[in-house]
Amino acid sequence: MVVKSSGNKFFLAAYDGAKEAAKEMGNVNVTLTGPTTPTAEGQIEIINSLIAQKVSAIVISANDPDALVPIAKRAMQRGIKVVSFDSGIAEGGRAIQLNPSDSALVGTKLAALASDAAGGTGDIAVLSATAQATNQNLWIGELKKALATSQYSKLKLVATVYGDDQTDKSYREAIGLLRSHTNLKVIVAPTAVGITAAAKAVADEKKIGKVYVTGLGLPSELERHVANGSVKSFAIWNPVDLGYTATWMAYQLVTGNAKGNLGEKIPAGRMGGIMIGPRKEAVMSEPFTFDSGNIKKFATIF
């Protein structure tokens, strides 16, 4: 499993799911690796090493959809099955892309969360991962579509900034938003790193109750921010399930039990059959909302 960067708790949870799947399969060894910073160059170097090791499959969350295509193609030419998950490689560079959710569902969910936090009206801003992150760009695009509807017409998107999925940069970008947009009501961060950094920034700038943070994050990392009021609610899919499902799909390709063709339903253990759609993409589930009423239960899980 190749992730965006080492130490990211979202992907550590995904790796737990991968190990669960491997245990069910038997005689399968899954390892976790990722660059120290979330760059395509770092992932290319890692994939080169995995090709040399002659691994059976690579399950990867991509830092750049296009930059990884040549090296991923090389891996596939050597007989390695490539499945991208979370943030995808462009179609020519993988057998299957497993999306954690449907992009339109995510965008609509983000708009609903922002509207709830803002009381239905006011300025909002987006703090994303990298400018090239496939999934975040799709979600932000769908968020903008939702904001253009009459339901969210009183919300105004005033800025989009990028923290590169690094805690310190995300924090600085959030501080910048708070200081440069005095009427800001909500920061929407569709990234587990960004949402925690933004919540800390709101607390440090003494903006709790004036500015709320929402987006996609992990209950274990956001429990205290929900408690202190910097986060009212947020959403995420279960990263354990995501890693589990992607690993099962890769295994089915390796064993020849699946081809990854349009309309094919690939068995994925306890997650059931996952349908392959257009562009060889599959969808796992829709995001689930967390708030003060349920976060304690899930914070102990992921």
Which tokens in the block code for residue 113? Answer: 């969360």
Low-confidence ranges of the chain (pLDDT < 70): none
Contact 136, 172 (CB under 8 A): no
Question: Which position has the token pair 């770092």?
Answer: 42
- What is residue 253's predicted lDDT score, i.e. its pLDDT? 99
Domain 9-100+238-285 -> CATH class: alpha beta
- What is residue 125's predicted lDDT score, i.e. its pLDDT? 99
Residue type at position 53: Q
Gap between the Cα atoms of 278 and 274, Å rounded: 13
- Total-model pTM: 0.86
For 99-136, the pLDDT digits (tens) are: 999 999 999 999 999 999 999 999 999 999 999 999 99
- What is residue 286's predicted lDDT score, i.e. its pLDDT? 80
Q: Among candidates 267, 272, 266, 269, which has minimal Cα distance to 285? A: 272
Domain residue ranges of the chain, discontinuous segments joined by +: 9-100+238-285, 103-236
Q: Among candidates 297, 233, 271, which has minimal Cα distance to 21? A: 271
225-241: burial string, b at 16+ Cβ within 10 Å, e else: bbeeebbbbbbbbbbbb
- What is residue 130's predicted lDDT score, i.e. its pLDDT? 95
Contact 184, 123 (CB under 8 A): yes
Topology of domain 103-236 in CATH is Rossmann fold (3.40.50)
- What is residue 232's predicted lDDT score, i.e. its pLDDT? 98
- What is residue 285's predicted lDDT score, i.e. its pLDDT? 83
Going by their DSSP bridges, the two strands 81-85 and 96-99 should be labelled as parallel
- What is residue 190's predicted lDDT score, i.e. its pLDDT? 98
254-271: burial string, b at 16+ Cβ within 10 Å, e else: beeebebeeebebebbeb
- What is residue 301's predicted lDDT score, i.e. its pLDDT? 83
Contact 166, 127 (CB under 8 A): no
